[in-house]
Amino acid sequence: MDDWEAMVKQRDELVRQYWESKRQTSWPVFQTLTSAQRRREYAKQDRLLDQYGEILPAVPVSRCPICGEVLSYLFDPFGLDGPWWHTGKLAEYALPEEPHFRLLQGGIDFHGRSPAEAEVHRTVRPGPGVPFVIPRLLDLPGMRAVLSSVVLPHGDTAYLTAYFSPDPIHGALLHQPWARIDYEVLDEGGENQGWGVANDLWDFELGTWIENGKLAWILPGDDTFSLHTDGPCPYLDLPGVRAPQSVERGKVSTLDLPTGEPPQPFD
């Protein structure tokens, strides 16, 4: 067994143990536990999440158009049962240290597959089924984006958009990342300023952003991660779901597109 296979096996076991413990502390089973038993289960869940976060693979996903460094991102490509896919960031993991990286957004084309493994979650928000950009972000000073794709082990295709800028940008001007419904707002120095939720418009018409130099791409399957800014772009006009997807107990549905209006969290 090679290191990759061993990591996947360890990942699968940690995920299995976490959700088994989670069931023990969910209604109605938790009513059968004593206070001490519940505390032990909660401590076990914290320990399993820590271990899971420590083994998440750093997946090469993009290349910075400013300094040329390959961007690797910690996420769980092996199935939507992983705690990484929880909308509220259950597992702790480090963000890339690439100095120009600002945000990773994305979506998944399931190619008709029903991601039944996600049934352990109440909800997963994997994004749409085709690439998109967030115009407001690209209008920020110096911001540029790079499109790429990753074929996941289940056969799904993840379409990713990584945003980069030459200078730091206050987190209040950014957006929640891929698969999250909110985000930690950090100032230009990396200090926590609270939490935010964005409701910015999406744009699936990518050609204009390529023409104005705001958007580059990496060819599917290119493990050299070479950047392209001209020629045929393989991410234009792809067929697929052009709306936020929501996986509820393993079944895929769609939500309304963001309106651009300020979010109303108490509505």
Would the pLDDT of 1 be above 90?
no
Residue 50 within a domain: no
The residue segments making up the domain with residue 122 are 96-254
pLDDT tens readout for residues 66-92: 999 999 999 999 999 999 999 988 888
d(CA 174, CA 195): 11
For residues 221-225, give the mean pLDDT: 96
pLDDT tens readout for residues 4-15: 889 999 999 999
Nearest residue to 110 (alpha-carbon basis) of 234, 244, 241: 241
What is the domain count for the chain?
Answer: 1
Residue 13 within a domain: no
CB of 159 closer than 8 Å to CB of 107: yes
pLDDT tens readout for residues 156-204: 999 999 999 999 999 999 999 999 999 999 888 778 888 999 999 999 9
Nearest residue to 67 (alpha-carbon basis) of 198, 208, 166, 167: 166
Confidence of residue 250 (pLDDT cuts 50, 70, 90): confident
For residues 115-123, give the mean pLDDT: 94
Residue 22 within a domain: no
pLDDT value for 266: 47
Residue 206 within a domain: yes
Would the pLDDT of 19 be above 70?
yes
Residue 17 within a domain: no
pTM score over 0.85: yes
